[in-house]
Amino acid sequence: MIMPRLFRNGLSLRLTGRFALVVVGIYVFAASLYSVQFLNRVEQGAGVAREQQIPLILSQNRNALKIERAASLIRSVYLAHDRRVERQIQLQLQTLTQSFTLDDNQLLIDGGRNIAADVKVITAQREAVRSLRSDTSGPADNGKIEQAEVAAAEAYQRAIRTTEALGDNLSNDAVKLADDLASTIERAARDVRFGWLFILILPAVFLVLVLWVVSRHILRPISVAVSRLEAREDTVARPVFEELRTVTDAVEAYSALSLDLKRTNEMLLVLSDQDGLTGLLNRRAFEQKLDNAFNRAMAARSDLCVLMIDLDHFKSINDTYGHEAGDACLREVARTSSSFFERHGLVVGRYGGEEFCGFVEGLDTDSTSGVAAVLRKAIEMLSVDVGSGKKIRLTASIGVSCLEGREVERAGVLLKEADAALYQAKHTGRNRVVVRAERDVFVFGATGNSLV
């Protein structure tokens, strides 16, 4: 009988209301404390990203550009054949490689030292060649001159391989950093959403419980007791949290940053597969695509043909008109070769220097020979403007090798055969197509579009 009296006197109602207010107060305080602490962690994470991770990504990008510059200088010092120019380029490379010591990256530092050492070998061997040729005391020692040239070429290849390895390492590191940062931001945004979803669900559940209690234990007895009175609804004020707006702004800001990082990641992936001068696939990306095409062809028992394309007398173009003119010629050849993708399915990449490589899936030897002949003719029709009213006409030699239903161990065999065919084209007059036929018999392309 005590509880009914407490309800009639309103004591239990007041106590229940006070208890509800205390619970609400505690909940609001806990939610606010949680929000502040969580946002502080988010802010600290943003500070780490801004002060450490993003600068590291930018540093990797800068170093990647330095590596591209180093590769260009290595090619320049190897092709210079002039003591003064070689010395100037060597000093530029030394300054560039010494700048790598500013980064805490031992691989980059060691690579820079190796590049500087190889360039030093190139210049030393070139100086030895000049000394041997200028020695008037007797006939020139052609054996020593050839040995010095070979040593310089080997040092050049080592330096180029070092720059390629460093470039791949930097690109992969930058992509990984961007992925890690994007993943961290996405996790933080997801935690914010789930945390605040949980915070907002509890009041909804509590409100439903309160409404059920009010409806069952308050409104029903009152409606029975005072059925003639008008029902009156009390509006409960709901608090508006400033933290909610802060979280929304933080989620939007982090979502925008995550999108930017994803775009940067996509750009880095493209750059890591692209040749900087021509925009074609670089050697690593091309060989990867060729391996995939080779696996498809072997699985489907279909044909696959590889083309090795080399510009004729390219060194004389660089020596006569300069490297900028040579670069313009390479870009024009790349543009012309790329146009064959939509028409013939020819995938082309820059293999190194003035050498390009391509492959065609699903075409037999005769059809691919025709494509190669048309490409050779298209290159021959180019007229590259190098300024001052001068135009350069180009020719190219092309070697072709096809599966032809053979059991070939790997794609590298086709590359090697196409390179051998290219060698035959070079040594039988240039500006022609040579096709590897069955039993290693070479069919030499005429200077026209037909094959004999």
CATH number, residue 364 = 3.30.70.270
Q: Using CA atoms, how far apart are residues 434 and 420, in angstroms rounded to an integer?
A: 9
pLDDT higher than threshold 70 for residue 219: no
What pLDDT was estimated at residue 329?
94
**Residue 385 pLDDT > 60, yes or no?**
yes
Whole-number Å distance between alpha carbons of 250 and 321: 57
Q: Are residues 61 and 178 in the same domain?
A: yes
* Overall domain count for the chain: 2
- Point out the domain boundary residue: 251, 272, 293: 272
Give the residue with greater pLDDT, 268 vs 308: 308
Strands 347-352 and 355-361: antiparallel
Q: What is the pLDDT of residue 339?
A: 92
**Pairwise CA distance, residues 167 & 64, whole Å:** 6
234 shares its domain with 101: yes
Same domain, 246 and 325: no
The answer to whether residue 449 sits within a structural domain is: no
Cβ(201)–Cβ(273) under 8 Å? no
Query: Cα–Cα distances in Å, from 341 out to 165, 346, 348, 360, 365?
Result: 29, 4, 8, 9, 17
Among 431, 292, 413, 328, which Cα is nearest to 372's? 431
Mark whether 354 is an active-site residue.
yes
Single out the catalytic residue among 354, 355, 407, 409.
Answer: 354
Question: Which residues on neighbouring strands pair with residue 361, listed in sequence order?
Answer: 304
> Is 278 contained in some domain?
no
pLDDT of residue 137: 64
> Is the residue at 277 inside a domain?
no
Sign of CA dihedral 89, 91, 94, 98: negative
Is residue 371 pLDDT above 90, yes or no?
Answer: yes
Query: Do 327 and 346 belong together in one domain?
Result: yes
Share the mean pLDDT of the chain: 78
Under the banding of pLDDT at 50, 70 and 90, the label for residue 246 is low
In a domain, 348, yes or no: yes
Give the 3-state secondary structure of residue 381. coil
Question: Which of 279, 276, 421 lies closest to 348 in space, CA to CA?
Answer: 279
Residue 222 — very low, low, confident or very high, per pLDDT cuts 50/70/90? low
Domain membership of residue 450 (yes or no) is: no
Higher pLDDT, 32 or 345: 345
Q: In percent, how much of the chain has pLDDT > 90?
A: 31
How far apart CA 310 and CA 357 sit, in angstroms, is: 9
Assess if residue 151 is contained within a domain.
yes
pLDDT higher than threshold 70 for residue 238: no
Residue 380 lies in a domain: yes
Looking at the fold, whether 298 and 212 belong to one and the same domain comes out as no
In a shared domain, residues 109 and 181: yes
CA nearest neighbour of 358 among 342, 343, 346: 346
75-92: per-residue pLDDT in tens? 887 787 777 887 888 788
d(CA 71, CA 159): 8
Question: Higher pLDDT residue, 272 or 133?
Answer: 133
Confidence of residue 12 (pLDDT cuts 50, 70, 90): low
Same domain assignment for residues 266 and 287: no
Q: Which helix (H) or strand (E) holds 131?
A: helix 106-134
Segment of 1-10, 221-230, 297-306 carrying the highest mean pLDDT: 297-306
| Model pLDDT, residue 153 | 84
Rg of the chain over Cα atoms, rounded to whole angstroms, equals 37
Quote the domain boundaries for residue 8: 1-272
In-domain check, residue 104: yes
Taking the C-alpha atoms of residue 213 and residue 384, their distance in angstroms, rounded to an integer, is 87
243-258 burial code (b ≥16 CB/10 A, e <16): beeebeebbeebeebb
Are 322 and 330 in contact, with CB atoms under 8 Å apart? no
| Domain match, 216 and 250 both | yes
- Could you say which of 252, 272, 292 is where a domain stops? 272
How does pLDDT run across 131-174, given as a tens digit for each residue? 777 765 656 577 888 887 888 788 888 878 888 888 888 777 76
In the predicted structure, residue 400 carries a pLDDT above the cut 70: yes
Report the C-alpha gap between 190 and 181 in whole angstroms.
Answer: 14
Q: Which residue has the higher pLDDT, 118 or 418?
A: 418
Would you call 93 helix, strand, or coil by DSSP? Answer: helix
User: Residues 2, 128: one domain?
Assistant: yes
pLDDT surpasses 80 at 42: no
Burial of 358 (0-12, 13-18, 19+ CB in 10 A): buried
Q: Where is the domain boundary, 253, 272, 291?
A: 272
- Same domain for 111 and 254? yes
Please indicate, yes or no, whether residues 288 and 261 belong to a single structural domain of this protein. no
Q: What is the pLDDT of residues 175-218, one digit of tens each?
A: 777 777 777 777 777 777 767 676 778 788 877 877 776 666 66
Same structural domain, 243 and 164? yes
Poorest-confidence range of 20-24, 45-49, 93-97?
A: 45-49
The token duo for 319 is 């020596």
